[in-house]
């Protein structure tokens, strides 16, 4: 029987021998490689977390002691050790285990948000709560070196360092990478800590020698090891953490479980906030991941991936870069995933990786624009949320010509609720002067990106979906900025004006076909620029019985809402039905499965409209469904 099968929960770990623990670590790595290669997910980060997770669960008592994982993508081992090994095959599948912590799955899971750099703030709050409630519980926060480059982490450290009596242990999982090697002064400092051979060797020497004198040895080693500014300052530049007033333990070999346990017990004994600096290798134990230059298999990348929206953007930006020396690119630690790597290869001096620091990225872009450059900021749509204030009041207020390219907009699916790009076309509607484009296919990505970088007195935004780019849908006419994609076969009644937004233009074409089969006259348009609302769209709407909008964004405050407002403001009484993502946190599943689930498919939308049009109840065309914010079906 495998050791893993004997582990029903963390308590079982405490009974295992060193040999059994070594066997268990090997078994876990086999399960990770075998399963994640099939299901997809974060293989590299989790291979690097085996010994740390074992040590965490052997030294602390989850869930009484609370374990908080930053970003949460590195919790597969935690799941295997907390009673979910039997379900691990269902990882990231619809109805199966989430790829991130899930309170619904286990009492051992707490933080579900996959946005980085939040763990220390949660931990600060939790530890304060336990102190106030006089609960003798530890909080253990695991954060990566990448997560530490996020501003929130330093806001939290500033508070934690001042709270000497918080029972809080911070484990920095330092593998030197986010996706790519971690950048900035912090990375350099962590490197100086982890690569100072003298410090480690001398400590080992002391430990070995002192260890031979049982009565004096271990306590003496503890004193030496715990000494604040003496031994360490002399041997390794401490600076940062200790100068902040934080106890620092390490650097510890993050793949030596025993050493980790010693360090965590040492940290636990301080009774106040401590940083344990664990040095790991992303992908450890699986050579293919260890040697993967791009990102150590941060995410399993499917072999021969079809050409995606990201690729079209990436190629077009390089072309623009050649003709526009003022164009620069900014990434928040996601050079490859956002398609900026090609631009970086071509223009290394005009590409800036700021770490996982979206807020800094956006305001730094404002500075670059004020300095005469035209920044293109590449982000995943959901991560823009974090930098909304910077976009609103650092970029838009000053009318800075910054172009934002939001990848993974709309339903992304298997990374769960916090990864769906369902917020941007709602929050961006309130930004004065901002121009928002939603390309429907690869050709429009090229077209709209070139139009966007020409705007130098306002922020411009392009947003497109995850995955394979759609086939080009050519327009049959252009009215103002509007592309007409389909007119009725004959001069049939102008029953429905279908507004397909971005990737939903293809869905709109499918809906049109289905409606025409029921004898309705349908015109399909793609606004291309969805903000501000095109006056030509408002004019056109006046001639139709019903306007229908379809968008891959939350319904609340989305494009449908804004177009309806523009119709009302212009006195156009044509009723409007808006289809979009229901304003809910969506369970993880593949994108197509989620779209099916929420009714954002051609078949479902066509059924709804047919039902509404054939209800013969003219009011039906005017009254929204009394069910309120029902799912968009």
Ligand X SMILES: Cc1ncc(C[n+]2csc(CCOP(=O)(O)OP(=O)(O)O)c2C)c(N)n1
Q: Summarize the annotated binding site for thiamine diphosphate as residue ranges.
A: 73, 114-116, 146-147, 175, 286, 358
Q: Which is nearer to Mg ion, 92 or 177 (CB)?
A: 177
Minimum Å gap between C-beta 73 and ligand DXP is 4
DSSP, residue by residue, 253-312: ETT-HHHHHHHHHHHHHH-S-EEEEEE--TTTT-HHHHT-TTTTTSSPPPTTPPPBHHHH
Q: Is-catalytic flag, 435?
A: no
Q: Can you give the length of the chain in residues?
A: 633
Site for ligand X in 56-115 (CB under 6 A): 71, 73-74, 114-115
In 3D space, the residue among 571, 582, 559 whose CA is nearest the CA of residue 629 turns out to be: 582
Which of 88, 122, 383, 520: binder of ligand X (CB under 6 A)? 383
CA atoms within 13 A on the CB side of 515: 35
Which of 71, 117, 296, 403: binder of ligand DXP (CB under 6 A)? 71
Site for ligand X in 111-140 (CB under 6 A): 114-116
Q: Which is nearer to Mg ion, 296 or 420 (CB)?
A: 296
Rounded Cα distance, 330 and 400, in Å: 15
Catalytic-labelled residue, pool 84, 177, 194, 386: 386
Task: Report if residue 282 touches ligand X, rule: CB under 6 A.
Answer: yes
Catalytic-labelled residue, pool 58, 84, 282, 577: 282
Binding track over 109-148 against Mg ion, x by CB under 5 A? -----------------------------------xxx--
Q: Is-catalytic flag, 386?
A: yes
CA atoms within 13 A on the CB side of 97: 27
Residue 216 CB-density burial (10 A; 0-12 exposed, 13-18 middle, 19+ buried): exposed
Task: Report if residue 408 touches ligand X, rule: CB under 6 A.
Answer: no
Task: Report if residue 336 touches ligand DXP, rule: CB under 6 A.
Answer: no
**Of ligand DXP, Mg ion, ligand X, none, which one does residue 333 interact with (CB within 5 to 8 Å by kind)?**
ligand X
Is residue 438 within 8 A of residue 455, CB to CB? The reply is no
Q: Which is nearer to ligand X, 92 or 298 (CB)?
A: 298
Q: Which is nearer to ligand X, 338 or 561 (CB)?
A: 338
Is residue 525 within 8 A of residue 499, CB to CB? The reply is yes
Minimum Å gap between C-beta 71 and ligand DXP is 6
Q: What backbone phi and psi angles, to 5 degrees, belong to 523? A: -115, 130
Single out the segment in contact with ligand DXP by CB under 6 A; choices: 195-203, 281-289, 407-415, 616-624: 407-415
Report CA-CA distances (Å) from 218 to 132, 203, 410, 547.
35, 12, 57, 77
Task: Report if residue 386 touches ligand X, rule: CB under 6 A.
Answer: yes
Site for ligand X in 174-213 (CB under 6 A): 175, 177-179
Binding-residue total with ligand X (CB under 6 A): 25
Which of 147, 283, 285, 337: binder of ligand DXP (CB under 6 A)? 337
**Angle between the N-to-C axes of helices 505-517 and 602-613, in degrees from 0 to 180, rounded to the nearest 10:** 50
Q: Are strands 168-174 and 247-253 parallel, antiparallel or unpaired?
A: unpaired
Is residue 421 within 8 A of residue 406, CB to CB? The reply is yes
Site for ligand X in 500-529 (CB under 6 A): none
Q: What is the DSSP letter of 394?
A: I
Which of 53, 121, 180, 299: binder of ligand DXP (CB under 6 A)? 299
Task: Report if residue 108 touches ligand DXP, rule: CB under 6 A.
Answer: no
Rounded Cα distance, 378 and 337, in Å: 9
In 3D space, the residue among 191, 142, 151 whose CA is nearest the CA of residue 170 turns out to be: 142
Is residue 76 within 8 A of residue 88, CB to CB? The reply is yes
Task: Report if residue 146 touches ligand X, rule: CB under 6 A.
Answer: yes
Name beta bridge partners: 210: none
**Of ligand X, Mg ion, ligand DXP, none, which one does residue 147 interact with (CB within 5 to 8 Å by kind)?**
ligand X
Task: Report if residue 117 touches ligand DXP, rule: CB under 6 A.
Answer: no
Residue 3 CB-density burial (10 A; 0-12 exposed, 13-18 middle, 19+ buried): buried
**Of ligand X, ligand DXP, Mg ion, none, which one does residue 580 interact with (CB within 5 to 8 Å by kind)?**
none
Other CB atoms within a 10 A radius of the CB of residue 536 amount to: 15
Place of tokens 């309130």: 430
In 3D space, the residue among 34, 23, 20, 69 whose CA is nearest the CA of residue 49 turns out to be: 69
Site for ligand X in 301-360 (CB under 6 A): 332-334, 356, 358
Rounded Cα distance, 92 and 89, in Å: 9
Q: Is-catalytic flag, 408?
A: no
Minimum Å gap between C-beta 276 and ligand DXP is 23
Alpha-helical (H) ranges within 105-256 are 119-132, 151-160, 185-194, 197-211, 217-226, 231-235, 240-243
**Of ligand DXP, ligand X, Mg ion, none, which one does residue 356 interact with (CB within 5 to 8 Å by kind)?**
ligand X
Q: Which is nearer to ligand X, 334 or 562 (CB)?
A: 334
For the record, the structure tokens of 576 come out as 């409007």
Single out the segment in contact with ligand DXP by CB under 6 A; choices: 152-160, 408-416, 443-451, 624-632: 408-416
Q: Which is nearer to ligand X, 57 or 115 (CB)?
A: 115
Site for Mg ion in 545-584 (CB under 5 A): none
Single out the segment in contact with ligand X by CB under 6 A; choices: 172-180, 484-492, 549-557, 560-568: 172-180
Minimum Å gap between C-beta 168 and ligand X is 18
Binding site for Mg(2+), residues?
145, 175
Is residue 522 within 8 A of residue 540, CB to CB? The reply is no
Minimum Å gap between C-beta 310 and ligand X is 14
Rounded Cα distance, 173 and 143, in Å: 6
Task: Enumerate binding residues for Mg ion (CB under 5 A).
Answer: 144-146, 175, 177
Positions touching ligand DXP (CB under 6 A) are 71, 73, 114, 299, 337, 408, 412, 415, 466
Residues within the interface to ligand X (CB under 6 A) = 45, 71, 73-74, 114-116, 144-147, 173, 175, 177-179, 282, 298, 332-334, 356, 358, 383, 386
Active site positions, annotated:
282, 358, 386
């Amino acid at each position: 029987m495998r050791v893993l099968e004997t582990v029903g929960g963390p308590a079982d770990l405490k009974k295992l021998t060193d040999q059994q623990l070594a066997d268990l670590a090997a078994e876990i790595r086999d399960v990770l490689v075998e399963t994640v290669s099939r299901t997809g997910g974060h293989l590299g980060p989790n291979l690097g977390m085996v010994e740390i997770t074992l040590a965490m669960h052997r030294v602390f008592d989850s869930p009484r002691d609370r374990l908080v994982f930053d970003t949460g993508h590195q919790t597969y081992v935690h799941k295997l050790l907390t009673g979910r090994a039997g379900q691990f095959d269902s990882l990231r599948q619809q109805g199966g285990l989430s790829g991130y912590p899930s309170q619904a799955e286990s009492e051992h899971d707490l933080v579900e948000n996959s946005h980085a750099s939040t763990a220390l703030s949660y931990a600060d709050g939790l530890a304060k709560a336990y102190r106030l409630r006089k609960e003798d519980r530890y909080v253990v926060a695991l954060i990566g070196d990448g997560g530490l480059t996020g501003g929130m982490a330093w806001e939290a450290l500033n508070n934690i360092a001042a709270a000497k009596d918080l029972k809080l242990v911070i484990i920095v999982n330092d593998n030197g990478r986010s996706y790519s090697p971690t950048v900035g002064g912090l990375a350099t400092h962590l490197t100086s800590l982890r690569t100072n051979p003298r410090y480690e060797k001398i400590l080992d020497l002391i430990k070995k020698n002192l260890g031979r004198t049982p009565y004096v040895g271990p306590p003496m080693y503890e004193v030496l090891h715990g000494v604040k500014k003496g031994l360490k300052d002399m041997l390794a530049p401490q600076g940062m953490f200790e100068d902040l007033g934080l106890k620092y333990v390490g650097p510890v070999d993050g793949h030596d479980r025993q050493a980790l346990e010693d360090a965590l017990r040492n940290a636990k004994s301080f009774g106040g906030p401590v940083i344990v600096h664990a040095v790991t290798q992303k992908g450890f134990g699986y050579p293919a991941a260890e040697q993967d230059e791009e990102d150590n298999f941060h995410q399993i990348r499917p072999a021969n991936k079809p050409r995606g929206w990201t690729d079209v953007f990436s190629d077009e930006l390089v072309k623009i870069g050649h003709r526009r020396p003022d164009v620069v690119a900014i990434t928040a630690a996601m050079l490859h995933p956002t398609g900026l790597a090609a631009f970086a290869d071509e223009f290394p001096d005009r590409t800036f990786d700021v770490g996982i620091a979206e807020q800094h990225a956006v305001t730094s872009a404002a500075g670059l624009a004020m300095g005469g450059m035209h920044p293109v900021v590449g982000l995943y749509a959901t991560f823009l949320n974090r930098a909304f204030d910077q976009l609103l009041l650092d970029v838009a207020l000053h009318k800075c010509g910054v172009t934002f390219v939001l990848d993974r907009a709309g339903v992304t699916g298997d990374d769960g609720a916090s990864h769906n790009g369902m917020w941007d076309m709602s929050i961006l509607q309130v930004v004065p002067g901002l121009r928002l484009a939603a390309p429907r296919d690869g050709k429009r990505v090229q077209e709209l990106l070139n139009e966007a970088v020409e705007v130098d007195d306002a922020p411009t935004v392009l947003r497109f979906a995850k995955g394979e780019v759609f086939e080009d849908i050519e327009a049959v006419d252009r009215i103002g900025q509007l592309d007409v994609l389909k007119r009725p076969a004959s001069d049939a009644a102008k029953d429905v004006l279908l507004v397909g937004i971005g990737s939903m233009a293809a869905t709109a074409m499918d809906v049109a076909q289905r409606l025409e089969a029921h004898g309705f006259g349908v015109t399909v348009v793609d606004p291309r620029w969805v903000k501000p609302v095109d006056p030509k769209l408002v004019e056109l709407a006046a001639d139709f019985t019903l306007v229908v909008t379809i968008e891959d964004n939350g319904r609340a405050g989305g494009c449908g809402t804004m177009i309806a407002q523009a119709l009302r403001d212009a006195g156009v009484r044509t009723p409007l039905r808006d289809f979009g993502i229901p304003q809910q946190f969506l369970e993880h599943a593949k994108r197509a499965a989620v779209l099916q689930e929420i009714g954002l498919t051609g078949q479902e939308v066509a059924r709804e409209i047919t039902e509404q049009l054939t209800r013969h109840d003219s009011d039906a065309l005017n009254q929204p469904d009394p069910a309120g914010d029902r799912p968009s079906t």
